Amino acid sequence: MRNRNVRVVAGVAAVVAVLAVGGCGTKSADQKATSSDAASGAASGAAAAAGSARDAEGVWSARTGTKAVVLAVGGKQASLSTGEGHLCTGVVDGGGKPEFSLKCADGNTERTAGVVESNDGSTMRVTWDAGKKDTFKKSENGKLPDVLPTSTH
């Protein structure tokens, strides 16, 4: 079990490093305020509850059974790593509800197309086209949460 956790954490570290090197840094307070104002003014109804692609930025963690699912989002780039060994990368589109379009290196398709159903800044719910639903918890200061929410199939 410890070996598997080490692999997941190593995968997350690699994803975060790739996003950081790719220029997916943070914005200044002024840029954040301007972006937030523009996004909140343009959003309506269900899209507002799901937030924007910018609201999805960060490292998010969930659990399916005993296995971790980690989603890292920076700018328009997204990476997902699962306890089953799937590593998927792709983009997040911010028009309306944020949508993920990912491709897994091993060809897995369980979490390749998903839409953010809700995001309150600390919990984000994503429904995937293949039927899975994940409830992610946002990581603070680059640390995984002690308790991960459980996802459904």
Residue range 42-62, pLDDT digits in tens: 444 444 577 788 889 999 999
- Across the chain, mean pLDDT equals 74
Q: Which residue has the higher pLDDT, 152 or 133?
A: 133
Side-chain-facing half-sphere of 119: CA atoms under 13 Å: 24
What is the distance of C-alpha 41 from the center of its chain? 23
Amino acid at 151: S
Reduce the DSSP state of residue 135 to 3 states and report it: strand
Amino acid at 111: R
Would you call 65 exposed, middle or buried from its count of C-beta atoms within 10 A (0-12, 13-18, 19+)?
A: exposed
Q: Which residue has the higher pLDDT, 9 or 98?
A: 98
Side-chain-facing half-sphere of 105: CA atoms under 13 Å: 10
Q: Are 78 and 100 in contact (CB under 8 A)?
A: yes
Answer whether residue 135 shows pLDDT above 50. Answer: yes
Answer whether residue 95 shows pLDDT above 60. Answer: yes
Answer whether residue 10 shows pLDDT above 60. Answer: no
Residue range 26-42, pLDDT digits in tens: 333 333 333 334 434 44
Reduce the DSSP state of residue 30 to 3 states and report it: helix
Which tokens sit at 67? Answer: 């296995």
132 backbone φψ class: left, alpha, beta (φ>0; ψ -120 to 50) = beta
Q: Which residue has the higher pLDDT, 27 or 95?
A: 95
